[in-house]
Structure 1
């Protein structure tokens, strides 16, 4: 075998073991007995030690030095393997194992603290997680910013400065649109009633399949915080139900289906390789957001959904499809990021981005995080946080150490805006398909342009190839302005 062949064979086993670790994480969020938390932490730490040893094995460095290849895919394999090797060799094995153990434990402590509205019970654990991630960032960053070292795990090539500049360009347009909507005096009414959780889950499975989710290679379960897990032949998603709000379940599912379809559609020949997964969380989020928003919340698709929900749940409180469309796209300040409308959503992300940068930079202490959150939230949304589960305890991300992850949500919205513009140019009769509940042309376009490539191309290169132009925030702002100006008669 050549050095390249040996490297790829070795990497395939490492990726397979990483998939097993991911399955343990899925199990912990869905069906693991509560009393198993401490043992699971040890299991996760042990597996992370094995993975870290494989990723830093000296043979990997030797194979990378000697590997000779031709072709884009082989070059991309080496690019991603070299990036992984260089990153992991900077992090001590002890630290990698400790992070895995602490974040596994922290997840359960966060869930209990959230349920009890008890920030103080979570603060000591969060401080440990922040300290460990700061230590990791210091090992990775060299002379560079700590936060950038962590951000690079989720969006290769991005920096806090570039993300901050994009946020600065987005914020004025979002705030202006939000203020005009709230000042319009035309708030659409929400959907009211009681909606069976059993019926919600049945409908959400139907909609998941409609959007292209392959149940022969996946399943839907319930979790506190919806997520997608896995790749290739085993991609699982979760959702949640609320009898007073069926949209929470349906649109959480559509969102996670976007993530899952990305992983299920990657070319089979890339399976169990470093290219057989989404290239970045920004690109991943572009798929979930375009599925959920530009497609799932469009006037055309919601017309179909209005009829289908009326069949499942009986007559709805909204009198017609137009009012139903307004209810789905209702703009109002709220506490919860995952339930936020398209206008407010990115403001939620900007808050988290600024706070987590300060935590990692050391300018904000974990003990002061709740007060900082509440102060910033009131400033941005003119609403006082009423309880921790509506504030600093609402998201799972920090408990599991995902610092640098939050800004990729808004970057995904920016990418989705670009993809939506290109999609409509290529499929001018898209609305006619959506009005029939036919997502096939849209999801096939995304599969061909984005999903099948996995991590062969870098994030910005992939979006540029798909759209035919460099990504920017302009298409997203244009989409939001056009949609909500019409909806609110601004």
Structure 2
């Protein structure tokens, strides 16, 4: 075997073990009995120890020095392995194991604190997570910006300064659109009660409509919707609220976008550095374009209205046009995952600023709730009534995902670019959506984005797909056109 072949075989086993680690996380969120939390933390710690040892194995360095790429795919794989090797080598094995153990425990403590509205119960373990993430960031940054070092894991090639500048450009136009729509008359909230089984039936129908491959995937319930896995084993979750079927429905469509990305990557890349989504921003571009530009369009909501009427009978919405307005209600709600398209990025900007301060040491866990509530009042004009509608609503910080949040907004920006390019190239998309047929759009996304996996850098991938450099302008133009039509001045 050549050096490249030996390295690829070793990497394949590492990738397989990483998938198993991800499956443990999925199980913890969906199936694991509550009493198993302590044992699961030990299991996660042990597996992370094995993974860290493999990722920093000295043989990788020797293989990299000798390996010669014969194709662009092999060259990209070598570059990604080298990056992972050098980054992981900076992290002490004990720190990696401690992070796995503490974040596994923290996840359960967050869920319990959220359910009990007990912020104080979560703070001790959040302090532990924060201390470990600061230590990890310092090890990775080697004197550079701590937050940028963490951000690199989720959106390679960007920086907090670049994202902050983008947010500064977006905020005035977003605020103006949101403020104008918020004062317009809105459809009344649904008063109907929607059964769990019927909601899950609709969620499965929607996932099927968007091309989810059930032979390689499944759908389950969780506290916080998420997608995990890749290739031949991809799993999504959703949640159900009896008075809000859109929570379940659009969470499912969103996670289906993530899942279809993973299911559509070239099978030749399976269990290799190219076998997953290239970045969380690109991943979010798929979930957000499925959920919003396609799933909340007037065409697709017409089909959904008929499906909901079949399942629930008369549920208080007169017709498809009223249903489209219902799906796109605008309001300054507390919950990020339930927010409308105009307010969503404002939720992300709040989290981005807070977590940068947390990592930099300008903000401590004990002061986080107060800082969150003050910022929410400033941005949204409302006082947060309880922790589950404030800083306890998201799972991310409990599991150490600092640097993840800004990729949601970046995904919206990429989705805006992709939507503009796709509609310029493909005709008949809305006619198909009106019949519940998404294949014209999803085939374009599969060809332009999804099949490439990790082959290209994130910005390069979006530019290749669109034919122009990514910018926030297409997203803002889309939002202005849509919500001006919905809520004319």
TM-score interval, normalised by the smaller of the two chains = over 0.9
Q: Is the 8 A contact 1:115 1:389 kept in 2?
A: yes
Equivalent residue, structure 1, for 2:16: 16
Stretch moving more, 128-137 or 200-209: 200-209
Question: Deviations 1:262-308 (Å, cap 9, x if unpaired)?
Answer: 00000000000011000000000000000000000000100111111
| Residue 277 in structure 1 maps to residue 272 in structure 2 | no
State the alpha-carbon separation in 1 of the partners of residues 199 and 371 from structure 2. Answer: 37
Residue pair 1:286, 1:414 contacting (<8 A) in 2 also: yes
Distance in 1 of aligned mates of 2:188 and 2:8 = 56
Report the equivalent of 1:320. 319
Which 5+ residue runs of structure 1 have no aligned equivalent?
Answer: none
- For residues 175-220 of structure 1, what are the alpha-carbon distances to aligned partners after superposition, in whole Å with 9 as ceiling and x for unaligned? 010111123x322333330111111111111111110101100110
Match of 2:126 in 1: 126
Please, what TM-score do these two structures have when normalized by structure 1?
A: 0.99
* 1:241 maps onto 2:240 in alignment: yes
Cα deviation, 1:216-266, whole Å, max 9, x if unaligned, reads 001100000000010000000000111111111010000000000000000
2:32, 2:40 → 1: CA distance? 9
2:50 is the alignment partner of 1:35: no
Equivalent residue number for residue 194 of structure 1: 193
The one-character-per-residue Cα deviations of 1:317-368 (angstroms, maximum 9, x if unpaired) are 1111111000000000000000000000000000000000000000001110
**1:21-420 residue pairs with structure 2 within 5 A?**
21-183=21-183, 185-420=184-419
SS at match of 2:152: helix
Structure 2 unmatched runs, 5+: none
Which is further off, 278-287 or 306-315?
Answer: 306-315
Bigger CA drift: 257-266 or 187-196? 187-196
Per-residue CA deviation, residues 349-394 of structure 1 (Å, 9 max, x unaligned), is 0000000000000000111000000000000000000000000100
Describe how 1:433-472 pairs up with structure 2 within 5 A: 433-472=432-471
Secondary structure of 2:153 counterpart: helix
Determine the C-alpha separation between the residues in 2 that align with 1:309 and 1:192.
15
Distance in 2, matches of 1:286 and 1:71, equals 28
**Residues 222, 239 of structure 1: 8 Å contact kept:** yes
Q: Which segments of structure 1 move beyond 2 Å, counting only runs of 4 or more? A: 188-192
1: distance between equivalents of 2:76 and 2:317? Answer: 51
CA contact (8 A) 1:110 1:399 kept: yes
**Does the 8 A contact of 1:189 with 1:326 survive in 2?**
no
Residue 485 of structure 1 corresponds to 484
Size of the aligned set, in residue pairs, is: 489
* Pairwise CA distance, 1:316: 2.6
